[in-house]
Amino acid sequence: MVRLLDGSMSAQLKHFGYDCNSADNIPHWTFPANSDKNLVENAYKSFLDLGVTDITTNTYHFGSTLDKRIPENESKKEIYEKYFQIACSSLSKLAEIKDGVRVWGSVGTLATMYHGMSEYNGKYMDNEDAEKTARNYYQTILTLFQTKTKVRNLVFETIPSAVEGLMALETLNSFPEMRAVMSFTFKENACLRHGEEVENLAGELRKCSQIVGMGINCTDPENVLSALKVIKNFNFPEVFVYPNMGDSKFLSEGSDESDVFNLDMVSGWVKNGATAIGGCCGITEAQMKILKKIVDNLNNGK
């Protein structure tokens, strides 16, 4: 059975009057929505009502609160950690009343700490202290999941470079209760945004018993299949695929209501190992409804 992942949290929150790009919410994007429990619950419920079977916590952009260049971050540390708890506990309670729904704690890429769309090139990992910074970053977030929540299944999202992936893996090893899908963002020819080929990285991830899967997210739909064909060779129990609406559209043009998903494309992903499919940046609820029909048809053998 193919499982249905959730879609873009920023797009979903728009339905309830929340604008990630407002002056009040930049540079923390979706994360401040957790200050309004009803708001974030409504977004979660809308995904669950759509029929998703795998859903992530609204914690992806927590990394922006760790940016020491922003003076208010240190003074609001306890408040931000409370928002983190709300994001996790609210979703866990809602998912309990839905049969077969799995909750995944979203661990955003280190790029969220720099909040400058650097996940699309990964150049921050070329800095002299990048490995130390990445270790400390992931240590902070996994400690929060460990001590402040009951969430033990994680998805590391939108990682653009092999070195950052290995630093995340190293940190995960310090939290033996956690299990994780590690998801990366790709350009063409199965290369990560930073330029590395993915084969060696996939091999290292497969050696770790805590890694239950690998993912492809915030990637142009046209670039998914080449990465999937490489990942397929490693027989991960889980392979998550949740593309953006298209790099050129998302990065240059803003929103687009045209179709992203079609039966041939999605069935090709499934044939090449995808176990769960959803949407990332720019994917609207209307597009998720189309994906839901495609997934249902595949599960029903149509």
Annotated binding site for Zn(2+): 218, 280-281
Q: For the purposes of burial, counting CB atoms within 10 Å of the CB of 136, is it exposed (0-12), middle (13-18) or buried (19 or more)?
A: middle
Three-state DSSP class for 126? helix
Q: Measured between alpha carbons, how far is 194 from 127 in angstroms, rounded to an integer?
A: 13
Q: Measured between alpha carbons, how far is 70 from 13 in angstroms, rounded to an integer?
A: 25
- Residues of each annotated binding site: 218, 280-281
Q: Measured between alpha carbons, how far is 88 from 106 in angstroms, rounded to an integer?
A: 9
Q: Measured between alpha carbons, how far is 59 from 53 in angstroms, rounded to an integer?
A: 18
Q: Phi and psi (nearest 5°) for 56?
A: -105, 150
Q: Measured between alpha carbons, how far is 188 from 270 in angstroms, rounded to an integer?
A: 19
One-letter-per-residue 3-state SS of 209-273: CCEEEEEEECCCHHHHHHHHHHHHHHCCCEEEEECCCCHHHHHHHCCCCCCCCCHHHHHHHHHCC
Which DSSP letter does residue 164 get? H
Beta strand 276-277 with 153-159 is: unpaired
Placement of tokens 């879609």 in the chain:
7
CA distances from 124 to 76, 113, 117, 133, 135 (A): 25, 11, 11, 10, 14
Of the candidates 22, 16, 17, the residue with the CA atom closest to the CA atom of residue 45: 16
One-letter amino acid of 87: A
